A and B are shown apart, each in its own frame.
Chain A
Amino acid sequence: DVVLTQSPATLSVTPGERISLSCRASESVDTYLHWYQQKPNESPRLLIKYASQSISGIPSRFSGSGSGTDFTLSINGVELEDLSIYYCQQGNSLPFTFGSGTKLEIK
């Protein structure tokens, strides 16, 4: 199974900052890497598909990059509403797997 390692586990940020979250795969997943946001007590929401493709309705401050084994989710100007856990997920091979998440805390 492909193991996805997300770092950091927790990130404390100031509103307005630009931040980057990391997701590293145990083997290449090409660009079959997707990002989700889960706010407290809510269902996950798709943020980015295929490493860097934007999703309709998602604010433009969210962007993704990477391929192979190293991926980054960037938030350009964090807002209070971004307080969430962010998960990466690979779709390159079965079983589909998720990272353990990065929790974003607002200072």
Chain B
Amino acid sequence: EVQLVESGGGLVQPGRSLKLSCAASGFTFSNYYMAWVRQAPKKGLEWVATISTSGSRTYYPDSVKGRFTISRDNAKSSLYLQMNSLKSEDTATYYCARHPPYYYDGTYYYDYFDYWGQGVMVTVSS
């Protein structure tokens, strides 16, 4: 059974840093791209970051680029999100999610999320 368990959330002051972790089990972690998706209170979903299988490629939206860093440790089946210079608008539940590969016409695509963790709350407030 695929399991994704996030940890590391909490209350943090604006401008400070926080690091989230996601422990994966039930699948071969090193074979999958992974991602973070967040949801502000009572709001919709926002993609935050994606990382390739080896960690050599990372992708971010402009809203977090330069402040957040996604990383992984395949030996530990773990995913991380280092969040710096936090702002009040970063307050959200952060989900760890798996990107399955989709092979089509000679190319692999990683563009949707098939398993999600239970989420971890991050509150940025003074």
Chain A interface residues toward B at CB < 8 A:
1, 32, 34, 36, 43-46, 49-50, 55, 87, 89, 91-92, 94-101
Contact = CB atoms under 8 A, between A and B. Distances in A.
Contacts of B37: 44
Contacts, number: 55
Interface string B101-126: 01000000101111111110000000
Interface size on B, as a range, is 20 to 34
A91 B61 contact: no
Given A43-B116, A44-B95, A55-B114, 20 more contacts: A32-B109, A32-B111, A34-B113, A43-B118, A43-B119, A44-B113, A44-B116, A45-B116, A46-B115, A49-B102, A89-B45, A91-B111, A92-B111, A94-B59, A95-B59, A96-B47, A98-B45, A98-B46, A98-B47, A101-B44
A91 B109 contact: yes
A49 B115 CA distance: 13
A41 to B, nearest CB: 10
